Amino acid sequence: MENGARYFKKGRSLLCEGKRIRFQFICENKKTWPVLQMCRVMEVSSSAFYDWCNRPIAPDNRQNRLDEDARKLFTEHRQTLGSRRMVKALIKLGHQVGRFKVRRMMARLGLIARYPKKFKVTTDSAHHYGIAPNILDRQFDVNQPNQVWTTDITCVWTLQGWVYLAAIMDLSNRQIVGWAIDDHMRTELCVKALQMAYWRRKPGKGLIHHSDRGSQYASDKYRKHLRTMGMQASMSGKGDCWDNAPTERFFRSLKYEQLNYQSFRTKSEAKLSILDYLAYYNSKRPHSKLGYVSPMEYEQIELADVA
């Protein structure tokens, strides 16, 4: 395995631990690295490892492992896992659990998930620009990447004033493919997010770009960029946030999982917090629409299906 010593640095540090710790490390990483090579690095036999995997686990030990994994998952996912998502995450780790059992366990451990607040729609559609038709028409089930993108703007308060985020989502895998963060919400903010998405993803002609009726998206400048990139403009009905529900849902998750529990002194602090959440959301956050895998994991599944 290329750079094996570097990859197994953590594994080598476990040599001073008991065999149980080493077996547990191998079990947790067997989908990433070959079992035989990990066994050699950590100086245990593969037959002993497989015997350990197949041994019966005492009920008390099984419950302790379940409790420990539940606490770790709850912390890793920013105290936002309810019982439904917790079940999926625990099953992924190899536990055999149902929702009723997980609900009781979470109550016993005091793992109470955060829940979102309602947010007021602030889109300014009082402008003189033309409005594109609603091509998307709430058809949110998209099978291939780079067929439909949705976009919107949200804001975060700091002691230095407001910070604005423009985000673009690929509907097929719910991944945020473009974003821009600044202290204004002019058209330039949205253009930067669009340019990032375009150069990162390089979509073909005909992609549907859906937004609300805000002046930024309806402006001549923004529409010109869409035409140059070969995209079709689609816009929500007036004042109807449900026409752009996936993006609204992302902003809701961003706020209740990350931003609402912090006070930002500076705009830079808010920007770093947003970037931190974007990385977590794309690579780790389990999404119910995607079968409780992250957007990036789901994209790999999409690409494998195409291949």
Averaged pLDDT of the chain:
84
- CA 107, CA 303: separation in Å to the nearest integer? 39
Are 81 and 89 contacting, i.e. CB atoms less than 8 angstroms apart?
A: yes
What pLDDT, on the 0 to 100 scale, is given for residue 306?
A: 64
What pLDDT, on the 0 to 100 scale, is given for residue 117?
A: 52
Residue 160 confidence (pLDDT) above 90? yes
As a whole number, mean pLDDT of residues 219-241 equals 92
What pLDDT, on the 0 to 100 scale, is given for residue 302?
A: 77
What pLDDT, on the 0 to 100 scale, is given for residue 52?
A: 75
Residue 72 confidence (pLDDT) above 90? no
Confidence of residue 137 (pLDDT cuts 50, 70, 90): very high
- CA 193, CA 146: separation in Å to the nearest integer? 15
Share of the chain above pLDDT 70, in %: 86
- Residue predicted with more confidence, 35 or 178: 178
With CA atoms as reference, report the closest residue to 152 among 230, 228, 77, 255.
255
Least confident of 9-18, 31-40, 111-120, 224-233: 9-18
